């Protein structure tokens, strides 16, 4: 029988696998996947956000938990920043290897350490400054061979990690609002954001790809795998130490690398691996060093590396 203290880490691994599957479904609908199916990233993001909204709304109403429409500025900070992160992440997923996207988006704890200074008055230590510097160097090393081709997707992934940090800090300061109500508020705002970028994003969207039954299957796969992943993460963070569980969550990058190699025939060169290490090791260190402060930051609603929440 599995010991009860091991279960949160097993649930976290299950969540990582589920979200990696979601990421691969998303990449399969991107231009560079080679599947012959191209669905605009805006439609994929809208499907993801809309499904979570309706599912969380149903669960919240069934449990008779009060909904929050206006809320505080911290609630809106959490929802708006999380929505920006979601949009940026799905854009990057359809343009880059999943392992690279997850590596960059998972560096949000470094931004939390930096933003804690102006927002909550906690000045970063010398070690945290060094971790932030190494993380940024890692992004530059990863991007080095792709300055002309993939700069915008890398910057989008970097922006997603920064937005996630704002979302986590906003969440930390929310008081007196049930966690389920926060999820409904966030997913509702995210759905509106996804609708807003349909006409504003560069390029002209058309629904031709949706006529392929495989595309509909991929979209369904995104929703189902994301929902399963959210359940696993909820179980993991409810029963385990948020700091330790978050570190286990970095294993998602490993799963993504395996998927890139086995499913898409993509490889990682030495400079890219070095860049990923420069991001992941300082991020894991920042998570571990955060201790009780980082635990309290994430306890109500854990960060989701792919996509945030």
Which range has highest mean pLDDT (25-34, 233-242, 294-303)? 25-34
pLDDT exceeds cutoff 60 at 7: yes
What is the SS3 string spanning 82-114? HHHHHHHHHHHHCCCCHHHHHHHHCCHHHHHHH
- Give the model confidence (pLDDT) of 14-36 as tens digits: 989 998 999 999 998 887 777 87
Q: What does DSSP assign to residue 203?
A: S
Give the domain ranges of the chain.
7-298
> Picking from 46-50, 66-70, 238-242, 299-303, which range would have the lowest pLDDT averaged per residue?
299-303
- Give the model confidence (pLDDT) of 189-207 as tens digits: 999 999 999 887 555 555 5
Q: Distance between terminal CA atoms of the chain?
A: 31
> For the chain, give me the number of helices (H) and strands (E)?
12, 0
Q: Which residues contact 131 (CB under 8 A, 6 or more apart)?
A: 110, 113, 282, 283, 285, 286
């Amino acid at each position: 029988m599995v010991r009860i203290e091991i279960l949160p880490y097993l649930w976290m691994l299950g969540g990582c696998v589920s979200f990696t599957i979601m990421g691969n479904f998303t990449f399969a609908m991107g231009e560079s996947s080679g599947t012959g199916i191209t669905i605009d990233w805006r439609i994929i993001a809208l499907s993801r956000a809309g499904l979570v909204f309706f599912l969380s709304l149903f669960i919240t109403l069934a449990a008779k938990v009060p909904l929050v429409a206006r809320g505080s500025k911290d609630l809106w900070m959490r929802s708006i920043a999380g929505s920006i992160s979601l949009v940026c992440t799905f854009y990057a997923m359809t343009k880059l290897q999943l392992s690279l996207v997850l590596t960059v988006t998972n560096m949000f704890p470094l931004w939390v350490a930096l933003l804690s200074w102006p927002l909550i008055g906690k000045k970063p230590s010398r070690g945290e400054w060094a971790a932030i510097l190494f993380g940024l160097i890692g992004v530059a090393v990863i991007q080095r061979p792709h300055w002309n081709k993939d700069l915008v997707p890398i910057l989008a992934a970097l922006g997603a990690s920064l937005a996630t940090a704002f979302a986590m800090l906003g969440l930390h300061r929310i008081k007196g609002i049930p966690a389920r109500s926060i999820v409904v508020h966030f997913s509702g705002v995210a759905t509106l954001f996804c609708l807003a970028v349909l006409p504003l994003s560069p390029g002209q969207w058309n629904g031709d790809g949706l006529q392929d039954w495989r595309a509909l299957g991929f979209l369904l796969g995104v929703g189902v795998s994301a929902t399963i992943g959210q359940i696993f993460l909820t179980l993991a963070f409810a029963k385990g130490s948020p700091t330790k569980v978050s570190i286990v969550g970095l294993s998602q990058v490993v799963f993504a690398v395996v998927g890139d190699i086995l499913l898409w025939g993509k490889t990682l060169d030495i400079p890219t691996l070095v860049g990923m290490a420069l991001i992941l090791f300082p991020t894991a260190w920042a998570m571990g060093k955060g201790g009780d402060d980082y635990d309290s930051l994430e306890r109500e609603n854990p960060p989701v590396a792919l996509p945030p929440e």
